[in-house]
Amino acid sequence: MCGIVGYVGRRPGKPVILDGLRRLEYRGYDSAGIALIEEGGIDTVRAVGNLDALFAAAGENRSEACVGLGHTRWATHGKPSEENAHPHSDCSGRISIVLNGIVENYKELRARLTEHGHTFTSETDAEVVAHLIEEHGGKGLAAAVRGALGEMDGHYAFCAISADEPDVVVGTRHECPLVVGVGEHEMFFASAIPAFLTHTRRVVVLEDGDVVTLRADGAEYTDVAGEPLVREETEFPGDDDAAEKAGYETFMLKEIHEQPAALRDTLAGRLCEDGTVDLSEVGMGDDFLRRLRRIFIVACGTSYHAGLIVSYAIEQLARVPVQIDVASEFRYREPVFDPDTLVIGITQSGESADTLAAMRLAREAGSPVLALTNTPGSQATRDSDFVLYTRAGLEIGVAATKTHTAQVAAMLLLALRLAWARGSMPEDALKALGHELRTVPELAEQLLARPSAIKEIAERYHDERFFLYLGRGMGFAVCLEGALKLKEISYIPTEAYAAGEMKHGPIALLDVESPVVVVADDGPVFPKLVSNIEEVRARGADVIAVATDDNDVIGELSRDVLWIPKTDHHLAPILAVIPLQLLAYHIAGIKGLNVDQPRNLAKTVTVE
Ligand code: BG6
């Protein structure tokens, strides 16, 4: 996720802003920039790569500028490059902005602004904001920002400066974080508190729609209409580490709770208002998609589970045969390739050795390769013909969480796009699914906000020596991921099985009160799953079920139910995995284990 820093004060802003960017590095980025209001106008420096490149480009020269903006960019629209790095300017160069998030309607805005004679210098969505502010100029920067907001769709936070008002910074937010730091004769904007924590602990957390004007000696808050607002100042109690974790006890828990935002970012600009999917950024046209005769999915670990979950949806919705394999097997089993087989490499890091090798093997054999990755500029983006990005932001916890659900969401977009191109489903049914997918981030938000019995369940079973996970269809794939999470961070042996296979072995493992997690995918196979649950209960095991709110059968079959909001069963896996992430998390926490860095595991396995 991008990082924003804004500063207005009585001392030189350059070192303050650069230090603030350094403290936002944990958010992940691929380029950075700074803009300062100097005597002659706005001076902007941008650089690709890590902050050392920006520091070198900005040079050691002392600047007396007391107002400026800084930005670390996590590329979404437009590759990592100096031209695409923020800050972005308007045509006059007298306005400069930095943005975090997505302007979903940037294409139509850019077209209209271009018709009005604006010239663009980047491929980004963010740049349109600078030109919108220019268009709405004449009544002051804050009014121009409010005017721009009236035309923008999406979710974003941005800050703006103007050479015509050299003593202010204006900032606003809509579904992306922006906080104000209140200093002594200096004020700060930032995407996250660590950016200014060494200067002040006095914080004002903004609400969606707030438009804030900062001057050295204070802040003026209004709503989008310009009506004055009052915002409470609080004292941030934590230290730097707590701030980087946004107050959560671990990165993993923070990242579990970042899933709604990661889903929103991944879907933004790709799910149209009418429910159709726009993946034109990927470059696979209708003809190409129609010609496909088969899809191979290759991945490792949690990414493999994302592929397995959506392999069901691709076959059911797009009627394209899908094979999926762990990359370390795929690369050595001499698979048969052909030009009409699309190979999809799912890798959040874009660096997993086995997945890269599998992708290279496919490409050398003449099959087109799509990389689904969370990391711009990673090796996977270079070893592929097409790239589809998840936009989950940097994931620090070794056990993947938000990147997994973002992968599922991105793959579902692909499934819908494929079905549309191939006419495999009625268009109104596809649009309805697209509309439903748009609601999933909000459903995830609601789910994470619910009180739940997970901690009590974790307390009850944290000493267990074994967990069995059972499911059917996509529910089975979710079980694989849930079982892996528990194994990875609590070191408890687990096994995930297709429920229909239970009588062929796993049932021998059950004892009285053995914990059995069941993911009740409420698709057509649910009645079969009910029989399996009965068989489990007949052996005295404790059933912990994951089920949708409207399931009125599961309650009497289970000792505990982890309820999730109702949605289409193709989309439900995104929600179903969340309680299983939290169950694993709390069990590991009770056992006093380090969930962010579990023993023997690495975040990215760059060797075979
Ligand atoms: C493992 C990580 O090392 O690699 C997992 O611990 C991850 O969380 C797996 O799923 C695959 O990584 P990637 O980057 O290829 O998705």
Assess whether pLDDT exceeds 90 at residue 106.
Answer: yes
Please give the Cα distance from 390 to 255 (Å, whole number).
Answer: 14
231 ligand 1 Cβ < 6 A: no
For the chain, what are the domain ranges? 3-243, 251-448, 454-590
Q: Who wins on pLDDT, 33 or 504? A: 33
Confidence bin at 159 (pLDDT 50/70/90): very high
Answer whether residue 605 shows pLDDT above 90.
no
Active-site option among 79, 107, 591, 603: 603
Measured in Å, residue 404 CA sits from the centre of ligand 1 at 9
Beta bridge partners of 545: 518, 561
Position with higher pLDDT, 521 vs 586: 586
pLDDT at 423 over 90: yes
Q: Evaluate: CB of 558 within 6 angstroms of ligand 1.
A: no
Tell whether ligand 1 has an atom less than 6 A from the beta carbon of residue 602.
yes
Question: Which pLDDT score, from 0 to 100, does residue 394 have?
Answer: 81
- Binding site membership of 603 for ligand 1 (Cβ less than 6 Å): yes
Identify the CA nearest to 519 among candidates 462, 460, 583. Answer: 583
Task: Judge whether residue 15 has pLDDT over 90.
Answer: yes
- The dihedral over CA atoms of 281, 287, 293, 296, expressed in degrees to the nearest 10, equals -10
Report which protein residue has its CA nearest ligand 1's atom 13.
347
Query: Between residues 35 and 27, which one has the greater pLDDT?
Result: 35
User: In this structure, which residue's CA is closest to atom 14 in ligand 1?
Assistant: 349
Q: Where are the extended beta strands (E) located within 415-566?
A: 467-471, 494-498, 515-519, 542-548, 560-564
- pLDDT, tens only, 52-87: 999 999 998 899 999 999 999 987 778 889 999 999
How remote is the C-alpha of 466 from its chain's centroid?
32
CATH architecture of 251-448: 3-Layer(aba) Sandwich (3.40)
The CA 350 to ligand 1 mean position distance, Å, reads 9
d(CA 424, CA 452): 39
Residue 352 in contact with ligand 1 by CB distance below 6 A: yes
Kindly indicate the confidence band of residue 277, based on its pLDDT and cuts at 50, 70 and 90. Answer: very high
Whether 300 sits among the annotated catalytic residues: the reply is: no
- Rounded to the nearest 5 degrees, what angle is found at the Cα of 102, between the Cα atoms of 238 and 247? 10
Looking at the predicted structure, is the pLDDT value of residue 477 above 80? yes
Q: Are 305 and 404 in contact (CB under 8 A)?
A: yes
Fold (topology level) of 3-243: Glutamine Phosphoribosylpyrophosphate, subunit 1, domain 1 (3.60.20)
Confidence of residue 224 (pLDDT cuts 50, 70, 90): very high
On whether the CB atoms of residues 191 and 3 are closer than 8 A, the answer is yes
Q: Ligand 1: does its nearest atom lie under 6 Å from the Cβ of 347?
A: yes
| 378 C-alpha to ligand 1 centroid (Å) | 14
pLDDT band at 326 (very low <50, low <70, confident <90, very high): very high
Which of 255, 330, 352, 489 best tests ligand 1's pocket when mutated (most atoms within 8 Å of CB)? 352
* Catalytic entry in 2, 66, 176, 479: 2
Q: Is the CB of 358 under 6 A from ligand 1?
A: no
Angle at which helix 259-267 crosses helix 427-449, to 10 degrees, equals 160
pLDDT band at 291, cuts 50/70/90?
very high
CA of 463 to the centre of ligand 1 (A): 27
Model confidence pLDDT, tens digit, residues 338-389: 999 999 999 998 989 899 999 999 999 999 999 999 987 788 998 999 999 9
∠ Cα 42 43 46 (to 5°) = 125
Q: Running DSSP on this structure, what letter comes out for residue 504?
A: G
State residue 194's pLDDT score: 87
Residue 27 has pLDDT above 80, yes or no: no
Query: Cα(90)–Cα(119) distance, rounded to whole angstroms?
Result: 8
List the end-to-end C-alpha distance of the chain, in Å, as a whole number. 29
> Does the Cβ of 601 fall within 6 Å of ligand 1?
yes
Q: How confident is the model at residue 479 (pLDDT cuts 50, 70, 90)?
A: very high
C-alpha to C-alpha distance for 211 and 277, rounded to whole angstroms: 32
Q: Pick the residue whose CA is nearest to atom 2 on ligand 1.
A: 603
Is domain 454-590 given the CATH code 3.40.50.10490 in the classification? yes
Looking at the DSSP bridge assignments, the partners of residue 101 are: 156
**6 touches 214 (CB < 8 A):** yes
Topology agreement, domain 251-448 and domain 454-590: yes
Residue from 400, 149, 414, 72 nearest 267 by CA: 414
Give residue 601 CA to ligand 1 midpoint distance, Å: 9
Q: Which two tokens stand for residue 584?
A: 């694993």
The answer to whether the CB of 348 is under 6 A from ligand 1 is yes
Distance 173 CA to ligand 1 centre (A): 33
- Ligand 1 atom nearest to 407, measured from its CA: 16
For ligand 1, atom 4: residue with the closest CA: 604
192 vs 300, which has greater pLDDT? 300
Q: What is the pLDDT of residue 60?
A: 86
Would residue 107 show up in a list of annotated catalytic residues for this protein?
Answer: no
Give the count of alpha carbons within 13 A of 342, CB side only: 24
Q: Which atom of ligand 1 lies at the shortest distance from residue 352's CA?
A: 15
Atom of ligand 1 nearest to the CA of 488: 6
For 193-197, 408-412, 439-443, 479-483, which range has the lowest pLDDT when averaged over its residues? 193-197
Ligand 1: residue of 300, 304, 390, 398 to mutate (most ligand atoms within 8 A of CB) is 300
Predicted confidence at residue 282, as pLDDT, reads: 95
Mean pLDDT, all residues of the chain: 94
What percent of the chain stands above pLDDT 90? 81
Q: Which own/partner pairs from 308-312 qualify as long-range (CB within 8 Å, at least 24 positions apart)?
A: 308/477, 308/480, 309/408, 309/411, 309/474, 309/477, 309/478, 309/481, 309/573, 310/408, 310/411, 310/412, 310/414, 310/415, 311/477, 312/473, 312/474, 312/477, 312/570
pLDDT at 606 over 80: no
Strand arrangement, sheet containing 67-73: 41-48, 31-38, 67-73, 3-8, 187-190, 179-182, 202-205, 234-235
pLDDT at 522 over 80: no
Residues shown for the chain: 608
Instruction: Report, as an integer, the average pLDDT of 515-525.
Output: 89
**For 229-263, how does the pLDDT look when each residue is reduced to its tens digit (9 = 90+)?**
999 998 887 777 777 788 899 999 999 999 999 99
pLDDT value, residue 446 = 97
Give the Å distance between the CA of 31 and the centre of ligand 1. 24
pLDDT of residue 77: 75
Q: What is the pLDDT of residue 365?
A: 96
What's the CA-to-centroid distance between 255 and ligand 1, angstroms?
Answer: 15
pLDDT band at 266 (very low <50, low <70, confident <90, very high): very high
- 387 φ/ψ angles, rounded to the nearest 5 degrees: -135, 135
Atom of ligand 1 nearest to the CA of 604: 3
